[in-house]
Amino acid sequence: MTSVIDKYKRKKKENQAANNANSSSTDVGVIRIGHYILNETLGTGSFGKVKKAYHQLTRHTVAIKIVNRTKIKQLDVVGKIRREIQNLRLFRHPHIIKLYQVISTPTDIFMVMEYVSGGELFDYIVKKGKLSEAEARPFFQQIISGVDYCHRHMVVHRDLKPENLLLDDASHVKIADFGRLNILIGDL
C-alpha cells in the first residue's frame, strides 16, 4: 500500500516536470519552448526557421515556426506576421495548415503549427517526374478548395508555389507559409 508520503513525493515530481516544461531548457542539448521539445530544423526562411517538435506530455508532433523579432522589424513586416497569425488562428480547412498556438518571447515568436510529414509538393514532383492527369487532378482540387476558402475569407496567399504546398502522409495537400498574405477589401 502506498503511503501518503510516497503519493506526496510522486505528485511533487510530476509538478516539477510540468514546471520544467514551461520554461526554456536547463538540460544540456534539449531546447524547450513551453511544453514543446524542439528537434531538427525542417527549413529556413528570411524571418527565421521551422523546427520539428513534440509536446512533452502528449507526444504530439508539431512544426514550430520561429520568427525573430529583430529581423521582422528590420524588414518592416511586423504587420504581415501579425495578420498571418490572426488569419491562421481563424482558418479551419482540411487543406490549410493549422496554427495551434503562439508563444511569444522578447526575442522570438513561436508559431506552433500542424506537422505535415509528407514534405513539399515540389519534392514529390521532382521525385516522380511528370505526373499524369489522374495523379495531378486531386492535388489541383485540394489546392483550389484551400485557395477558394482563403478568398471567401478575403485573404490572398500571394506566394502559392509547390514549395509552399505540403503533403501529409496520405498525400493530401496543405497550403502553408502565409507570410506574404494580403487582406482584400471589397468584392473578389
- pLDDT tens digits, one per residue of 102-119: 999 999 999 999 999 999
Predicted TM-score (pTM) of this structure:
0.78
* 16 inside domain: no
- Please write the tens of the pLDDT for every residue from 38-91: 999 998 877 789 999 999 999 999 999 999 999 999 888 888 889 889 989 999
Q: Is residue 138 part of a domain?
A: yes
Residue 122 CB-density burial (10 A; 0-12 exposed, 13-18 middle, 19+ buried)? middle
Res. 3: pLDDT tops 90: no
Indicate whether 188 belongs to any domain: no
Q: Rounded distance, CA 48 to CA 177, Å?
A: 12
Q: Of 108, 123, 159, 168, which is the active-site residue?
A: 159
Tell me what the pLDDT averaged over the chain comes to: 85
pLDDT at 76: 87
Average of per-residue pLDDT across 156-164: 91
Question: Does residue 47 belong to any structural domain of this protein?
Answer: yes
pLDDT given at position 45:
78
For residue 167, the enclosing domain spans 24-183
Given a cut of 60, whether residue 7 has pLDDT beyond it is: no
Told to judge if 159 belongs to the known catalytic residues of this protein, a careful annotator would answer yes
Number of domains in the chain: 1
Distance, first Cα to last Cα, the chain: 69
**CATH code of the domain containing 67:** 1.10.510.10
Residue 68 neighbours by CB under 8 Å, 6+ apart: 47, 48, 107, 108
pLDDT, average across residues 17-36: 64
* 17 within some domain: no
Residue 11 lies in a domain: no
Asked if residue 7 is part of any domain, the answer here is no
Eight-state DSSP code of residue 1: -
Is residue 111 one of the residues assigned to a domain? yes
Residue 167 pLDDT greater than 90, yes or no: yes
The cell numbers describing 35, all together, are 511544453
Cα–Cα distance between 177 and 96 in angstroms, integer?
10
